[in-house]
Amino acid sequence: MSKSAPQFIVLNGNLIPYEEATVHVMSPALKYGLSVFEGLRAYWSDAHQDLYVFRLQDHTDRLLQSMKLLRFKHDFDGAEINRMTLDLLRRNDVRAAAHIRTTAYLDGQGEQQVKGPVSYAISALEKPRTAKIDAGIRCQVSSWMRMADNVMPPRIKCGGNYVNGRLARYQAIQDGYDEAILLNTLGKVAEGPGTCIFFVRKGELVTPDMASGILESLTRDTVLRLARERGIAVSERTVDRTELYAADEVFMVGSAAELVPVVDIDGIAIGPGLRGPLTTQLQQAYFETVTGAIKAPAGWLTSVHKS
């Protein structure tokens, strides 16, 4: 796939030229940020000469959940999203790592309370692995708080929620860091603007629980499963900010970010300030799983060119 725009994009069940997928400025999606989306990756396997979409059904289920919680009334179903995703990858003849974005949005020209019409688009673009996947990133604990479930639920993956992440990320970058870590309104660790967070201390892997103000991350779920299968002790619980500083290892996870080491937080080195052994082990397990190099649980890999 070329770095330039791909030939096709999906709009409402049709494969159309990429440039023609437009939205009206008076749509509730644009006026009020009323869109929900998924970001997922597809991985090319040289060994299998096939492309695998990672956790397609789970992403589609989360998209449907986001629409349900925002009362979107849509006339397409999950099977259509899955089918069109695969059609798009085949039609664009994607044979390299790709990032897929599925967006469902309030179209038309209604006000905040309308339920429809709901349109959807699916794109697949080249997205290289982050350059800091080995060396790790430096993070800032943000002075911006993660919005609470009774304000803007982080569980709903909607466009508007990303204003919160933008404020935090912008501040972090301006202050010379790579990424932000957000605390929730109770002062406990929540997540990054586009990732969940893990730390390792004395051999135990810890991550904020689902009630900490986080997205129900599929990568978080993947990493927890990979860790448990490898006999690593895991805990999902409330996490204090200073536990991160005191950790032996910290890393962030997400479909786009994959599994990125965090080597410094607020100028405090995490462990020796290098990617740690458990992070390395889980990174390797993750990369082998998503490319089909080791057996993935049923339903995690969807073959594009051989199914």
Catalytic residue list: 157
Q: Count other C-beta atoms under 10 Å from residue 140's C-beta.
A: 22
- The continuous run of DSSP H or E covering 228 comes out as helix 218-229
Q: Measured at the alpha carbon of residue 281, what is the angle toward residues 305 and 245, in degrees to the nearest 5?
A: 125
Q: Which one among 218, 259, 278, 285 touches ligand PLP, defined by CB under 6 A?
A: 218
Q: Which residue has the tokens 């957000």?
A: 182
Query: To the nearest 10°, the Cα dihedral for 274, 169, 252, 41?
Result: -120
Task: Tell me if residue 15 falls in helix, strand or coil.
Answer: strand
Q: How many residues bind ligand PLP (CB under 6 A)?
A: 13
Q: Please, which of residues 247-266 interact with ligand PLP by CB under 6 A?
A: 254-255
Task: Tell me if residue 243 falls in helix, strand or coil.
Answer: helix
Question: Whole-number minimum distance, CB 306 to ligand PLP, in Å?
Answer: 25
If one asks whether residue 207 binds ligand PLP (CB under 6 A), the answer comes out as no
Question: Whole-number minimum distance, CB 65 to ligand PLP, in Å?
Answer: 12
Q: Please, which of residues 158-187 interact with ligand PLP by CB under 6 A?
A: 165
d(CA 39, CA 100): 6
Question: Whole-number minimum distance, CB 70 to ligand PLP, in Å?
Answer: 16
Q: How many helices (H) and strands (E) does the chain have?
A: 7, 16
Question: Whole-number minimum distance, CB 255 to ligand PLP, in Å?
Answer: 3
Instruction: Give the C-alpha distances (Å, rounded to integers) separating 122 from 7, 17, 18.
Output: 13, 12, 10
If one asks whether residue 283 binds ligand PLP (CB under 6 A), the answer comes out as no
**Which one, 115 or 166, has the nearer CB to ligand PLP?**
166
Q: Which one among 33, 39, 108, 153 touches ligand PLP, defined by CB under 6 A?
A: 39
If one asks whether residue 215 binds ligand PLP (CB under 6 A), the answer comes out as yes
Q: Which residues bind ligand PLP (CB under 6 A)?
A: 39, 165, 191, 194-196, 215, 217-220, 254-255
